[in-house]
Amino acid sequence: MHPWVIGDCAKQDRIDAEVVSKLQRFNARRKLRAAAIASVLSSKVALRTKRLRSLLGTHDLSSEELDNLRQHFARICADGENATLTEFEQVLKAMKMDSLIPLAPRVFDLFDNNRDGTVDMREILCGLSSLRNSRGDNALRLCFQMYDADRSGCISKEELASMLRALPEECLPGDIAEPGKLDEMFDTMDANGDGEVTFDEFKAAMQKDSALQDVVLSSLRPGQQ
């Protein structure tokens, strides 16, 4: 304690009333500021929780899945807001989505809606929901976009081969390694023989051949192979 307020050195003079009043006002403002900061922090936490819950309702993920994604995303992503491709791959591993890891660059590109080279929580939630729940034409369109690596609007034979090489072995037909099998698959889709597969050709081939459809759609449905 300071010597001014103890022992013989302590002053006996009464503190001026105006000084006391100022000290009281200062203390009151300090308490108000502390309460305001606590309120803001509490509101931020509540807002984040509310936002995550609203995303849950929109994107059909369970509470446990959403919480796991939030925790892994916050732990892995350096800025806490956006994930690079490397960080996205780490998030997939942490979420035990092993079937998507070989396809991570394609999936990342598909999820990156605003084309800024990163993905945020909303983009990941939307993307995972699409992979899980897409059906019919939506599933075919999504799968076509994954195969169309250069976003040209067509699938080349090289893009088909690259995608099939990335798929887990259990998703592929047993005869995929046989000579000419890849050419056969591509020719089935390339109806006009111009060396490129448009979405309409892709869709028509899938509708005609259920076995072929099973193979190409195996790139979807994370964790459900």
Q: What is the pLDDT along the chain (225 residues), one digit of tens a residue?
A: 455 555 555 555 666 677 656 666 666 666 656 555 545 444 443 444 344 344 334 445 678 888 888 899 999 998 888 999 999 999 989 988 877 787 888 889 888 888 889 999 888 888 887 777 767 788 888 888 888 888 899 999 999 888 877 776 766 777 777 888 889 889 999 999 999 999 999 999 888 888 777 777 766 655 444
pLDDT recorded at residue 41: 42
pLDDT recorded at residue 162: 86
Judgement on whether residues 159 and 200 belong to the same structural domain of the protein: yes
Judgement on whether residues 157 and 85 belong to the same structural domain of the protein: no
- 32, part of any domain: no
- 6, part of any domain: no
- 35, part of any domain: no
Residue ranges making up the domain that contains 188: 135-225
Helix residue spans in the chain (DSSP H): 17-59, 63-76, 85-94, 104-111, 121-133, 136-147, 157-166, 181-189, 199-208, 210-217
Cβ proximity of 47 and 33 under 8 Å: no
pLDDT recorded at residue 24: 66
Q: Which of 122, 80, 128 is nearest to 104 (CA)?
A: 128
CA separation for the pair 102, 123 (Å, rounded): 19
- 191, part of any domain: yes
Q: Which of 154, 160, 191 is nearest to 176 (CA)?
A: 160
Judgement on whether residues 142 and 215 belong to the same structural domain of the protein: yes
